Structure 1
Amino acid sequence: MSQTVVLGVIGSDAHVVGITILEQAFSAAGFDVINLGVQTSQEEFAEAAVAHDAEAVLVSSLYGHAEQDCQGFHDVLDAEGVDALTYIGGNLAVGQDDFEQTRETFEDLGFDRVFNSETDPEEAIAALRQDLQITTTEAERATISS
């Protein structure tokens, strides 16, 4: 049975390339991906996570205003009864010089994992598999690495 992830670009951000790459990578890795597209509201993430019984909510943002877009995000998820891992990645802050500070900011906002814009999708997939305690068979590992 495949694990379901909800993916989208939060707030007013209209950058679609990153989530398209993530959708393809997570789908190829065996996840059932619900791609909400760009300019997704917090409520749309929560509604999709509930509707699809998602194990993870993956938030993307590239325009540098993710902190303001994500204020109260986990309150919205909690209000809808969403019990899922939350990841965020991209260019999360304007002038992002110290990514460790940015990581702390988003962890303080409640995200389980925070990735910068240079993160390879395989790293995020490996992290999600680890967090969901999904083990891969040798055949799957060979497929993933090829």
Structure 2
Amino acid sequence: MAPTVTLGVIGSDAHVVGITILEHALEAAGFDVVSLGVQTSQAAFVDATAAHDADAILVSSLYGHAEQDCQGFHERVEAAGLDVVTYIGGNLAVGQDDFDETRTTFEALGFDRVFDSQTDPEEAIAALRDDLELRSSEAEFEPERVRAANG
């Protein structure tokens, strides 16, 4: 079964080109993509992810206000009981001079991976495959740990 990802542009951002390219690249790589389009609310990401039992949420933002748009996002994801990989990418901060600082900001907000607007889709897809494989192997290993602990 192909992994499912929820993809969209968060908040008031209306830049569609990046997610269109990423959607096609993900589909070509064998992913099922639930594309939410632009100007997507946090609630729409969470609702679509739950409805489609998605494995990952991929958030895009190019207008520089992603930090504002993502405040409380992971709390909403957790409140919905979703156990998913979360990525964000694009031009995430106005005047973004130091991407390491931007990455740290979004990791603190709960994102598993943070990409700049120059990231090749293949790089993000390779990372996603790795993260989903790791998560899957951890889930398979967890019952063994529980049985061993209850021994």
- Normalising by structure 1, report the TM-score: 0.91
Deviations 1:69-105 (CA, angstroms, capped at 9, x unpaired): 0000001111111110000000000000000000000
Over the aligned positions, Cα root-mean-square deviation in angstroms equals 0.8
**Counterpart of 1:104?**
104
Distance in 1 (alpha carbons) for counterparts of 2:75 and 2:110: 9
State the Cα distance separating 1:133 from its structure 2 match.
1.3
Q: Does 1:71 align with 2:55?
A: no
Structure 2: give runs of 5+ residues left out of the alignment: 135-151
Deviations 1:47-88 (CA, angstroms, capped at 9, x unpaired): 000000010000000000000000000011111111100000
Q: Does 1:94 align with 2:94?
A: yes
Structure 1: give runs of 5+ residues left out of the alignment: 135-146
**Counterpart of 1:7?**
7
Distance in 2 (alpha carbons) for counterparts of 1:100 and 1:12: 25
Q: Equivalences for 1:44-83 in 2 at 5 Å? A: 44-83=44-83
**Counterpart of 2:33?**
33
Bigger helix share: 2
Percent identity among equivalent residues?
75
- Normalising by structure 2, report the TM-score: 0.88
Q: Which stretch shifts more, 78-87 or 57-66?
A: 78-87
Distance in 2 (alpha carbons) for counterparts of 1:122 and 1:15: 20
**Counterpart of 1:120?**
120
Q: Please list every run of at least 4 consecutive aligned residues from structure 1 whose deviation after the TM superposition is greater than 3 angstroms.
A: none
